[in-house]
Amino acid sequence: MHDHRPATHRIASHLGPGAMIPGSEQTLSHLGYQLDASAQKVPHPGAGSRPGLHLVDDRNLDAMPTRESDPHTPIILLTGARSKASSDPRVAGQLMRPVAAHDLYMLLEHALEKEPRQAPRVRTRLSARYLRRDGSRQGHIESLSTSGCRLKTNETLKEGRTETIQIAIPNHGLIQTRARCVWTRDHVAGFEFISLDPLSQQAVAEYVDHQLTRGFDEERRDSAA
């Protein structure tokens, strides 16, 4: 899946100060969503020069292309607490400022991808265990997102089974969730979280964003070396 995605989606940015949580733009860039303030408005753009999407702060609505000049490019709108929902049919989603990368990512995926992922994921090697009545089993997490994980164990897990999983998140501690096994291969299984509480979800989201930003910074240092 996703083998034919473009390397980078060009997003026209119409954002004011404080519209995004610090570091979010770098995280989105690492995920293939490049915010471009210079792509805001082109009088007579050719098909190849149009951005894939407009990211608009509702304080900057005057900078938006009109429906007549750009009727098909989707819009994601960032609003204040008292803003009303937009009736513009181009609006694919609306979020409150300041927005975090993992929340914006989900809307970008659904607006731009034929096969959208539910959440950004990162490769990891975090300690984990799953709990049974006769005791716990050890394993480690090979990849992680706010919607699920890939768990490697010493035994074969059963597809469709629900497990209680504990994961050690750096700078947070253990989180615990019920998760459903959606696929297995040898001693590796993919799980979908079904009861991740809000604090644990926030801890996972912050960890994922941190890992993505760190990866972006490492790539930038390598390219400059």
Residues 6+ apart with CB under 8 A from 200: 175, 176, 177
Model confidence over 169-189: pLDDT tens digits?
Answer: 998 999 999 999 999 998 999
Task: Answer yes or no: are the C-beta atoms of 192 and 147 closer than 8 Å.
Answer: yes
3-class state of residue 81 by DSSP: coil
pTM beyond cutoff 0.85: no
pLDDT by residue for the chain (225 residues), tens digit each?
333 445 578 899 999 999 999 888 888 887 788 898 875 544 444 445 678 999 999 998 888 888 898 899 999 999 998 888 888 899 999 999 999 887 888 889 888 887 777 777 888 999 999 998 888 899 999 999 998 999 999 888 899 999 999 999 998 999 999 999 999 998 999 999 999 999 999 999 889 888 877 754 443 443 333
Sketch out the chain's domains with CATH numbers.
9-112 (3.40.50.2300), 122-214 (2.40.10.220)
Residues 6+ apart with CB under 8 A from 212: 27, 30, 31, 101, 120, 122
Q: What is the pLDDT of residue 3?
A: 37
Q: What is the pLDDT of residue 27?
A: 82
Model confidence over 45-70: pLDDT tens digits?
Answer: 444 567 899 999 999 888 888 889 88
Q: What is the pLDDT of residue 2?
A: 35
